[in-house]
A and B are shown apart, each in its own frame.
Chain A
């Protein structure tokens, strides 16, 4: 009896293995920050999201054998580039996902183009990925600094926040974040009263906040990221900036940052994201499943973007009947995107993925009814307006 079962099992396994050989093997690399400032908003969560997408796509039933590998780029472009190179050269990775931190994303963008593979970015913000450095091998999925500036800057001015003071991290990324937002603010009829550039990374922002307070600007725009933003917001609460009638606008801040800050310090902060777990039934259902796998943490928009990107990528492989970069990229740009998290959208010629963006305000502690109940929706920025117009990015792939 036992022997028979075993024989049967062996035969079954053999048969399965035979089937597997007939399948197309696809290898996905999730490259992100697993130990640094962006580990919470990307990290292992993005791997979970990628696996969920493979599961939901029912890849195995459709003849795709999808394997996921992951690595930590430590937010260093050199490490990111060399992992990408190794993955493509040696490990047979077909596509790289996530990659927060603009500097690393730009480096991976280069390598991917050189090796003619596919790169779908979710975590990074730099508009250069779909601008001067755009590549036929890259899609920028979840958000970019233009969309954040447009959402936060535009909407704040509309709400009456028409005078701004910027606290900017003194490096290229901070400058571009500030520039993007200042442009939007001025276009919408607001004015910029002043700017202060703080060393990066910094720990004490009180001095800059004091100068921002003295400027009497209605909105203080935080053109910094990660730990710097968290510290600025925390110290702003301490110096009574928001109680004094000024609004803080985070130009690059995620739900994981709000979680780290706590509502007491973060309340009233206005920010733009492309996904919020509690926005509708579909996002809640996804997030509940996600939370079960991630030890109770809700997904960030970056996680959601990885899920949505992997789903679309697998669809394109199925449609193209190939996993080569050329046909798959063509299919991804040809097929409209549609998934429960971002709804309907499309991938533009420059690699920009288009969908709605949302302006949120962080709730007061007494308004929050459950764990992770952090945002209330202020406005929806429709897909067509949310992102930089196709012809303004300076992407060589865009003709005319």
Chain B
């Protein structure tokens, strides 16, 4: 067996696989951001907080109502998505005629409020959330021990991402959506309720974040701050990918997860900065992002 820079290939495969798992979270989150941005033209700074809420709702369902993981996977996105719809109707919709920057500031403020409230209520030590019994244990793949749950995360997120891509690119609803992104006035004139479309899109994007939160709950501790740091990384992912295409954000998310995984083997100290460094490089070479249209 050959060795690559002193790392046996088995270990490398293991790390790549782990990178892919992290990439799943980046992909779902950046996909949600991209969808919201596409139609609402705002960057949803609350995305991290909504991801955290997803995990918390799953935890609450289990501890207050005895509802397990599988139902949480369905219910938590619905609950948080509904919350998103309320926020969009009550607050964000008032800002569409203003500069996008106000949307950013508003959602940033909302993120602070949500995180602060959860911190007051639940502290920051993190709450335990077990792996569902069906997915405990793992398989020995020869080169590594893969916990079943992690395998499930990759599969689930791939399915969700591709399904979303399919809906947007290949269905009639998706066609409306894409048209409304291009020219809302014209689409409205065709008798489509664009404001409702916008609201539902925001709700859907938020639900995606919550879904990622539920997927993350058994792996990371359920913690009010869990969304604050990941969201900045996801922003960098979004800048790297550009927000031109849905597929682009998915590919970038998974791809950067892999790159991060490799960094953890070769130069772990840089694991937290590598994505930002890539962002700088992409900005120098292709300012619009890898998949972006020129802004």
Q: In the bound complex, what is the Cα–Cα distance between A264 and B218 (angstroms)?
A: 13
Q: Which residue of B lies closest to A210 (CB)?
A: B14
Residues of B within 8 A of A213 (CB): 145
Residues of B within 8 A of A214 (CB): 11
Residues of B95-109 at the interface with A, using a CB-CB cut-off of 8 Å, are none
Q: In the bound complex, what is the Cα–Cα distance between A37 and B228 (angstroms)?
A: 14
Contact B124 A231, beta carbon cutoff 8 Å: no
Residues of A181-204 at the interface with B, using a CB-CB cut-off of 8 Å, are 196-199, 201-204
Q: How far is the CB of A366 from the nearest CB of chain B, in Å? A: 16
Q: In the bound complex, what is the Cα–Cα distance between A210 and B11 (angstroms)?
A: 8
Q: Which residue of B lies closest to A266 (CB)?
A: B128
Residues of B251-278 at the interface with A, using a CB-CB cut-off of 8 Å, are 261, 264-265, 268-269, 271-273
Contact B125 A264, beta carbon cutoff 8 Å: no
Q: Which residue of A lies closest to B144 (CB)?
A: A210
Contact A235 B125, beta carbon cutoff 8 Å: no
Contact A230 B126, beta carbon cutoff 8 Å: yes
- Assess A238 versus B219: contact at CB under 8 Å? Given A210-B144, A227-B125, A260-B125: yes
Residues of B141-173 at the interface with A, using a CB-CB cut-off of 8 Å, are 144-145, 147, 149-150
Q: Which residue of B lies closest to A256 (CB)?
A: B125
The answer to the question of B226 belonging to the interface, with a C-beta cut-off of 8 Å to chain A, is: yes
Q: Which residue of B lies closest to A259 (CB)?
A: B125
Q: In the bound complex, what is the Cα–Cα distance between A197 and B144 (angstroms)?
A: 21
The answer to the question of A132 belonging to the interface, with a C-beta cut-off of 8 Å to chain B, is: no
Residues of B within 8 A of A35 (CB): 119-120, 124
Residues of A within 8 A of B145 (CB): 213, 239-240
Residues of B within 8 A of A36 (CB): 124
Residues of A242-290 at the interface with B, using a CB-CB cut-off of 8 Å, are 256-257, 259-262, 264-265
Q: Which residue of A lies closest to B140 (CB)?
A: A240
The answer to the question of A207 belonging to the interface, with a C-beta cut-off of 8 Å to chain B, is: yes
Q: How far is the CB of A24 from the nearest CB of chain B, in Å? A: 37
Contact B264 A208, beta carbon cutoff 8 Å: yes
Per-position contact with A for B115-137: 1 when CB-CB < 8 Å, else 0? Answer: 00001100111111011000000
Q: How far is the CB of A89 from the nearest CB of chain B, in Å? A: 29
The answer to the question of B3 belonging to the interface, with a C-beta cut-off of 8 Å to chain A, is: no
Q: In the bound complex, what is the Cα–Cα distance between A240 and B150 (angstroms)?
A: 13
Q: In the bound complex, what is the Cα–Cα distance between A197 and B264 (angstroms)?
A: 10
B-side interface size class: 35 or more
Residues of A211-240 at the interface with B, using a CB-CB cut-off of 8 Å, are 211, 213-214, 226-227, 230-231, 234-235, 238-240
The answer to the question of A66 belonging to the interface, with a C-beta cut-off of 8 Å to chain B, is: no
Q: In the bound complex, what is the Cα–Cα distance between A214 and B126 (angstroms)?
A: 29
Q: In the bound complex, what is the Cα–Cα distance between A259 and B127 (angstroms)?
A: 9
Contact A239 B138, beta carbon cutoff 8 Å: yes
Q: In the bound complex, what is the Cα–Cα distance between A206 and B19 (angstroms)?
A: 10
Per-position contact with A for B229-270: 1 when CB-CB < 8 Å, else 0? Answer: 110000000000000000000000000000001001100110
Contact A207 B125, beta carbon cutoff 8 Å: no
Residues of B within 8 A of A201 (CB): 229
- Assess A39 versus B18: contact at CB under 8 Å? Given A207-B264, A239-B138: no
Residues of A within 8 A of B229 (CB): 201, 203
Q: Which residue of A lies closest to B15 (CB)?
A: A207
Residues of A within 8 A of B273 (CB): 199
- Assess A37 versus B272: contact at CB under 8 Å? Given A207-B265, A239-B145: no
Query: Which of B125, B269, B273 has the largest number of chain A CB atoms within 10 A?
Result: B125
Contact B130 A199, beta carbon cutoff 8 Å: no
Q: Which residue of B lies closest to A39 (CB)?
A: B123
The answer to the question of B221 belonging to the interface, with a C-beta cut-off of 8 Å to chain A, is: yes
Contact A39 B220, beta carbon cutoff 8 Å: no
Residues of B within 8 A of A39 (CB): 123-125
The answer to the question of B44 belonging to the interface, with a C-beta cut-off of 8 Å to chain A, is: no
The answer to the question of A94 belonging to the interface, with a C-beta cut-off of 8 Å to chain B, is: no
The answer to the question of B22 belonging to the interface, with a C-beta cut-off of 8 Å to chain A, is: yes
Q: In the bound complex, what is the Cα–Cα distance between A176 and B21 (angstroms)?
A: 32
The answer to the question of A170 belonging to the interface, with a C-beta cut-off of 8 Å to chain B, is: yes
Contact B126 A208, beta carbon cutoff 8 Å: no
Q: In the bound complex, what is the Cα–Cα distance between A145 and B208 (angstroms)?
A: 42
Residues of B within 8 A of A238 (CB): 131, 138, 147, 149-150, 219
Contact A203 B11, beta carbon cutoff 8 Å: no
Q: List 7 A-B contacts (CB under 8 A).
A: A35-B124, A198-B271, A234-B221, A235-B219, A238-B150, A239-B147, A261-B128
B residues near A, CB below 8 A?
11, 14-15, 18-19, 21-22, 119-120, 123-128, 130-131, 138, 144-145, 147, 149-150, 219-221, 223, 225-226, 229-230, 261, 264-265, 268-269, 271-273
A residues near B, CB below 8 A?
35-37, 39-40, 170, 196-199, 201-204, 206-208, 210-211, 213-214, 226-227, 230-231, 234-235, 238-240, 256-257, 259-262, 264-265
Contacts A36-B124, A170-B268, A207-B265 known; 20 new A-B pairs at CB < 8 A: A35-B119, A198-B271, A199-B268, A199-B269, A202-B271, A203-B226, A204-B22, A206-B21, A207-B19, A211-B265, A226-B125, A234-B219, A238-B147, A238-B219, A239-B145, A257-B125, A260-B125, A260-B128, A261-B128, A264-B130
The 8 nearest A-B residue pairs measured at CB:
A199-B272, A260-B125, A262-B128, A207-B264, A238-B147, A40-B125, A207-B18, A206-B18
